[in-house]
Amino acid sequence: MEQHPADQQQPVDQQQPVQQQQLMQLRLMQQRIILQRPLQPGGPPRYHETEEQKARRRRVNIMRSMKERAGKLRGDIPHPDGHPSAGVLPSRSYHPEEQINNRYARTRWNDFGTQIAQARYGGGNVSKGYNINLESIIAAGGFGIAALVRHRSTRDWARKLCVMKVERSKFRDKTYMDQEEMALKGAKHIVQYLDRTQEIKDQRDADNAGKGPYIPKKTAEEMDKSWDIKQQRDRRFIIVEYAEGGNLDQWLAKSSRSGKPWPNKALWLLFKCLVKGLIGMGYPPKKVYADDPNFDPNHPVDETIPEEGFTMENTAHFDLDPLNVLVAKDEEHGDMPIFKIADFGNAVFFDEQEKNPEKFTKEAFWKYRYRGKTHTLAPEQFDASWDSMLDFIDDISPNQFVAKDGSKPSVAGNYGMHTNVYQTGLIMWCAITRSWFDSPVVAAWYPDYNRASGFRTYGASLQSKRFTKVDEALKIIIQRCMAHNPADRPTLDALEKIIDSRLKLNGLESDEEVSNWAKEFFDSPRCPGDEIDPPTRRWKRSRPLDDDDEEYWRASQRLKTEHEDDVQPDPKLHVPRVPVGSRVAQFPVAGFQPGGPIYQQPMQQQLQQQPPEGFQPRVPSTGAVLGGNNWANGPGYQQQQQQQQQQSKPSFELA
């Protein structure tokens, strides 16, 4: 019988240094962990995987990582067996109102992320080449850097304030920037890609004609800190319009900190802008008005649904959240700003399946589950039915995600415009509740009496008595947008009609009231009394900022806010700490007499001889109580006192 390559013995040089042999053994153990094969004695064998074995291991890793990520979002308790085929343990009961206990923002305003990005990438030369001058750094993420720049065009020498998105050196994905350039030019409620991008690229291509490839002389991090599109001639970039009001996230955070809700009409107007942006994605103006000689893509128009002759494009944004909705001024909107959808780097245009079928493989649909932030994942990405699709491991069955014979899953992998509708509903949910949408994400049943049935929705917490002043029609439609099954979510046509009809009816605030509110609210993202806190130690990271850093920072700040009013314990109780893993945690309870001096500790770890005044012992979770009503009456304490008298080594008290 032929022996497996991973089990074949290889000669080992006994004269090799011990450290080198240990290093080889460690590498072998790492390979065994990856391959889940038992370690064979007798030396470190070498194992060469075939391409099929590598692909299979990659698919297993994809299944395992997404199962863990989606399971945490759903609130599942993972089975002890870590294999992708293992199920989950029964979870605890859940009430939808638990979701609205997570405040959207902490109690004080801060801009630590912007300050850190400015300090890291805002140095160096202000001139970035080709008449581009840096004003400030707006943000930095895993994909690139967003900077506010002022550019003078060589066509008309006009200066314009705009945003330049620059790709980071370590991230070179051509499709990311290409998708940004495809961001539906001419749509009013979508952040516009400016022609200045192509103008600068043409100038750079002309300057570098005949030159060889650019060879960097610095590390990727050093190049990012002093980024320059002229010297670093292979750096990819785009220029988009500048939104003066920043992103929607900071305004929802202001509403959360102040405790003041948005007016109902303002919520409907926000909803209308978001739906208009989705219409622009489904019906790009460049295609709708292709035969109109008066249409100019550089002058965006309101998005509309054509009456006939057009099929909606199936485009999924995948990262639609308050951070990617920008706020800008618009004359037609008056004091109420216009809201625009931004950042199409994660977008997928599923209408390209017929032209590029090799792009939409089964593995690609699995990887689309990674797109977006964890708390904004749609049911199409985290549905539990993914865990039962074990045929993906060996990849022997047809790709059911592109099937047209009715075998396509109804939820898992069913991406499309309805995915955007869900994330739009999630944004509106945050605006109404002023809460952070976080795990566990559990769908609740909502009865729909108009359809003699109901549907499962993740927005059931809107039925809480806390939101009795919110327009009932708005709450109902948002709950339908957040339905678990894409078939239960409303279409763009239905959403547009519902919004327009509701804004025409009475019962909402007047235009003057909304205008006065918007003029005051959107004046500054800070509330009266806001103070900037110093950066916490947890924010000091050893690696560059990535997309998940903002979620990490949010979680740490929410945790800090939740415990700001907690009574702080006496620091004497915690100095010094008992080492982890010692038997100190096994202190005796009533009826148990320890045997032997197992409670002794070295001098540097000795605890106090007497507990602080007013100290009360903690009751174990098992319900057992310490002996007696007094702290010193427990049998453990008495045993300690006897040991302390008999031995010269120091001992500690029960604390």
Q: How far apart are CA 35 and CA 380, in angstroms?
A: 30
**Any idea which of 111-125, 606-620, 625-639 has the lowest mean pLDDT?**
606-620
On the CB side of 431, how many CA atoms lie within 13 Å of its CA?
Answer: 28
**Any idea which of 47-56, 173-182, 238-247, 426-435 has the lowest mean pLDDT?**
173-182
Going by pLDDT thresholds of 50, 70 and 90, the confidence category of residue 312 is very high
Going by pLDDT thresholds of 50, 70 and 90, the confidence category of residue 516 is very high
Chain mean pLDDT for the chain = 76
Q: What is the mean pLDDT of residues 216-221?
A: 81
The listed range with the strongest mean pLDDT (39-48, 126-135, 260-269) is: 260-269
Q: Is the pLDDT of residue 202 over 50?
A: yes
- DSSP 3-state assignment of 134? strand
Q: How far apart are CA 651 and CA 45, in angstroms?
A: 51
* pLDDT higher at 453 or 98: 98
Buried b (16+ CB within 10 A) or exposed e, 121-143: bbeeeeebbbbbebbebbbbbeb
Contact call for residues 452 and 235 (beta carbons, < 8 A): no
**Token pair for 43:** 């030396």
Q: How far apart are CA 400 and CA 402, in angstroms?
A: 5
Q: What are phi and psi of 444, to 5 degrees?
A: -115, 155
Handedness of CA 336, 338, 339, 343 (dihedral sign): negative
Q: What is the mean pLDDT of residues 519-548?
A: 61
Which residue type does 271 have?
Answer: F
Range list of β-strands (E), 168-305: 237-241
Q: How far apart are CA 245 and CA 339, in angstroms?
A: 9
Q: What is the mean pLDDT of residues 41-45?
A: 50
**Token pair for 196:** 């200045």
Those residues whose C-beta lies under 8 Å from the C-beta of residue 499, and which sit 6 or more positions away, are 268, 271, 272, 275
Q: How far apart are CA 316 and CA 344, in angstroms?
A: 9
On the CB side of 156, how many CA atoms lie within 13 Å of its CA?
Answer: 5
Range list of β-strands (E), 66-169: 77-78, 88-89, 132-140, 144-152, 159-167
Q: Is the pLDDT of residue 270 over 90?
A: yes
Task: Measure the N-to-C terminal CA separation of the chain; round to a whole number of Å.
Answer: 63
Q: Is the pLDDT of residue 378 over 90?
A: yes
Q: How far apart are CA 457 and CA 480, in angstroms?
A: 7
Q: Is the pLDDT of residue 550 over 60?
A: no
Q: What is the pLDDT at residue 617?
A: 37
Q: What is the pLDDT at residue 118?
A: 87
Tokens 């200066």 sit on residue: 159
Identify the H or E element spanning 271.
helix 264-282
**Token pair for 333:** 């909107």
Contact call for residues 317 and 167 (beta carbons, < 8 A): no
Q: What is the pLDDT at residue 531?
A: 63
Q: What is the pLDDT at residue 84?
A: 54
Which residue type does 520 have?
Answer: E
* pLDDT higher at 626 or 338: 338
Q: What is the mean pLDDT of residues 214-219?
A: 80
Q: What is the pLDDT at residue 181?
A: 61
On the CB side of 537, how many CA atoms lie within 13 Å of its CA?
Answer: 0
Q: What is the pLDDT at residue 157?
A: 78
Going by pLDDT thresholds of 50, 70 and 90, the confidence category of residue 571 is very low
Q: What share of the chain is helix, strand, coil (3-state, %, to 5)?
A: 40, 10, 50
Q: Is the pLDDT of residue 249 over 60?
A: yes
Q: Is the pLDDT of residue 412 over 90?
A: yes
56 burial type by CB count under 10 A (0-12 exposed, 13-18 middle, 19+ buried): middle
**Any idea which of 64-78, 173-187, 581-595 has the lowest mean pLDDT?**
581-595
Q: What is the pLDDT at residue 590?
A: 40
Going by pLDDT thresholds of 50, 70 and 90, the confidence category of residue 395 is confident
Q: What is the pLDDT at residue 183?
A: 60
β-pairing, 444-448 vs 453-457, is antiparallel
Q: What are phi and psi of 544, to 5 degrees?
A: -65, 160
Q: How far apart are CA 188 and CA 184, in angstroms?
A: 10
Q: How far apart are CA 71 and CA 83, in angstroms?
A: 14
Q: What is the pLDDT at residue 586?
A: 42
Q: Is the pLDDT of residue 547 over 50?
A: no
Pick the CATH number of 248-507 from 2.30.40.10, 1.10.340.30, 3.40.50.300, 1.10.510.10: 1.10.510.10
**Any idea which of 211-220, 385-394, 399-408, 423-432 has the lowest mean pLDDT?**
211-220
Q: What is the pLDDT of residues 322-342, one digit of tens each?
A: 999 999 999 888 899 999 999
Going by pLDDT thresholds of 50, 70 and 90, the confidence category of residue 147 is very high
Q: Is the pLDDT of residue 126 over 90?
A: no
Contact call for residues 472 and 489 (beta carbons, < 8 A): no
As a whole-number percent, the residues of the chain with pLDDT over 90 amount to: 34
Helix axes 417-433, 264-282, angle to 10 degrees: 160
Answer whether CATH 3.30.200 is correct for domain 112-208+217-241. yes
Range list of β-strands (E), 233-288: 237-241
Going by pLDDT thresholds of 50, 70 and 90, the confidence category of residue 450 is low
Q: What is the pLDDT at residue 23?
A: 62
Q: What is the pLDDT at residue 651?
A: 36
The listed range with the strongest mean pLDDT (92-96, 347-351, 423-427, 617-621) is: 423-427
Q: What is the mean pLDDT of residues 302-322?
A: 91
Tokens 């516009």 sit on residue: 192
Q: How far apart are CA 182 and CA 432, in angstroms?
A: 32
| Residue boundaries of the structural domains of the chain | 112-208+217-241, 248-507, 575-655
* pLDDT higher at 118 or 590: 118
